[in-house]
Amino acid sequence: MYCDLVNIDFEFFLFEKELHPSKKNLKLNKEFEYIYFFSSDLNSTLCPFRNYPSDYLNYLVSLGIQLPKMDCSGPKRNWWGNYDDINLARFLNSKITSTNIANDHGLNPPGIRIINSLEEIPVHLEQFSFQKWIIRNPFGMAGTGSIIFDKDEFESNKTFITKQLEKHPVILAPFFQRLMDLGFIFENESYSVTWNLNSKTGGFKGGIVFENNDGLAKFIRENFQINFEDILETEKKISEIYNHLGNKDIIQIDSFIYNENNLVKFYPLVEVNARKSMGYFVNNLKKFLPKNGVGLFLSLNTSKLQKVQNFQERRDSLGDLLFSINDKTGVIPLSPVDGFLNSFFISGESLQEIERIKKDFWDRIGLPGEFLSSAFNFIN
């Protein structure tokens, strides 16, 4: 029987020269290990990086979650991402690979280029009318190492860009006016979708899931006049391309709908995670949704929340907003309270309902003067 390790630091391991765990990576694994509880069963075995308080575990059981065994005596298995063939894993997860695939199959919007030297950038910028640009680290996790700049600000950002180029190529792209970020998760013959709520540089803040994808398709059709089935067919083809390149497990393809000169367009292949993902986790929370309902996952900085002494106190602070198993609506506190992030899931019958609950929820747990990230402004 394998003991699973929740190796959230997968990307750091892939793209660092020495594959040795650091204190920073261990902290990351401890922070997000709780997601395993929402994706496991009685036959699973977790080798935990941390201890869990009894009030937290008892709450999970009250939600109907079957806790895994917790034991580190057996052989270890990496659960989040697989290192069995590390060169293949690096290739599949690199944004260089996804950019090249998008170029080869005509999926990239104009203006996207892999940059190897500083001298290439001003020449490239002058070929396009876009004023705002983004430089992305092809090996970064959750938008790390990205910078947004105006075309005429290139000179003032040369130092930062030079330091990036000393370590690796970068990806230069127009800074598109994103309207909706979508993560398509493919596993075996099935698929799921997360509406990703990201920062400006692409850092994951949270996500929205629909109990029935017909609800998502309707939202996209009514708001952007795009056929969801057409999008899905493109994403399936991309998944097949990666399978031919050697991917054998779960994969998430990130994409977005954007506005360019008052035209709504779709960018189908921004990057790929050939591993489990936060989108995979958020989709596992669908079991808490009412029929045809909608759920919102939020990952919040603990420093912006009112302090609590323990998990029970966090539950109590939510009062009547706490999730009701009978109605399948309300707020589920997902994580222990002692990390640098606290995570929650809001379940409701519609986007309008979770927007209402979100506002009440923040009034109860947010510190005075603090605000939710603009990434959570999903209703305009």
- Over residues 191-240, the pLDDT tens digits come to 999 999 998 877 889 999 999 999 999 999 999 999 999 999 999 999 99
Please count the structural domains in the chain: 3
Encode pLDDT of 325-365 as tens digits. 999 999 999 999 999 999 999 999 999 999 999 999 999 99
- The model carries a pTM of 0.94
**What range defines the domain where residue 35 resides?**
3-84
Q: Residue 197 in contact with residue 205, Cβ under 8 Å?
A: yes
Do residue 191 and residue 310 come from a single domain? yes
Flag whether 252 is in a domain.
yes
Model pLDDT for residues 42-100, shown as the tens digit of each residue: 899 999 999 999 999 999 999 999 999 999 999 999 999 998 999 999 999 999 999 99
Let me know if residue 93 belongs to a domain: no
- Are both 67 and 31 inside the same structural domain? yes
Check whether 24 has a pLDDT greater than 80. no
Domain stops at, among 152, 175, 198: 175
Q: Do 190 and 167 belong together in one domain? A: no
Shared domain for 140 and 193, answered yes or no, is no
Same domain, 268 and 353: yes
Residues 225 and 370 in one domain: yes
Q: What is the CATH number of the domain that holds 260?
A: 3.30.470
Is 257 within the bounds of a domain?
yes
Which bin fits 328, alpha (ψ -120 to 50), beta or left (φ > 0)? left
- What are the Cα distances from residue 165, in Å, to 19, 121, 161? 22, 11, 6
Task: Tell me if 75 is assigned to some domain.
Answer: yes
Residue 105 lies in a domain: no
pLDDT of 138 strictly over 90 = no
Q: For the chain, what percent of residues have pLDDT higher than 90?
A: 85
My answer on whether 45 and 157 are in the same domain is: no
Q: Same domain, yes or no, for 34 and 159? A: no
Residue where a domain stops, chosen among 124, 148, 175: 175
Task: Show which of 175, 195, 223 is a domain's final residue.
Answer: 175
271 shares a domain with 126: no
The CATH code of the domain that includes 158 is: 3.30.1490.20
Q: Which residues contact 102 (CB under 8 A, 6 or more apart)?
A: 108, 112, 268, 269
pLDDT at 15: 81
One domain, residues 194 and 338: yes
Q: Are residues 143 and 189 in the same domain?
A: no
Q: What is the 3-state secondary structure (H, E, C) of the chain?
A: CCEEECCCCHHHHHHCCCCCCCHHHHHHHHHHHHHHHHCCCCCCEECCCCCCCHHHHHHHHHCCCCCCEECCCCCEEECCCCCCCHHHHHHHHCHHHHHHHHHHCCCCCCCCEEECCCCHHHHHHCCCCCCEEEEECCCCCCCCCCEEEEHHHCHHHHHHHHHHHHHCCEEEEECCEEEEEEEEEEECCEEEEEEEEECCCCCEEEEEEECCHHHHHHHHHHHHCCCHHHHHHHHHHHHHHHHHCCCCCCEEEEEEEEEECCEEEEEEEEEEECCCCHHHHHHHHHHHCCCCCEEEEEEEEHHHECCCCCHHHHHHHHHHHECECCCCEEEEECCCCCCCEEEEEEEECCHHHHHHHHHHHHHHHECCCCCCCHHHCCCC
- Asked whether residue 212 is assigned to any structural domain, the reply reads yes
Decide if 96 is inside a domain: no
What tokens does 302 get? 């603990």
Same domain, 185 and 142: no
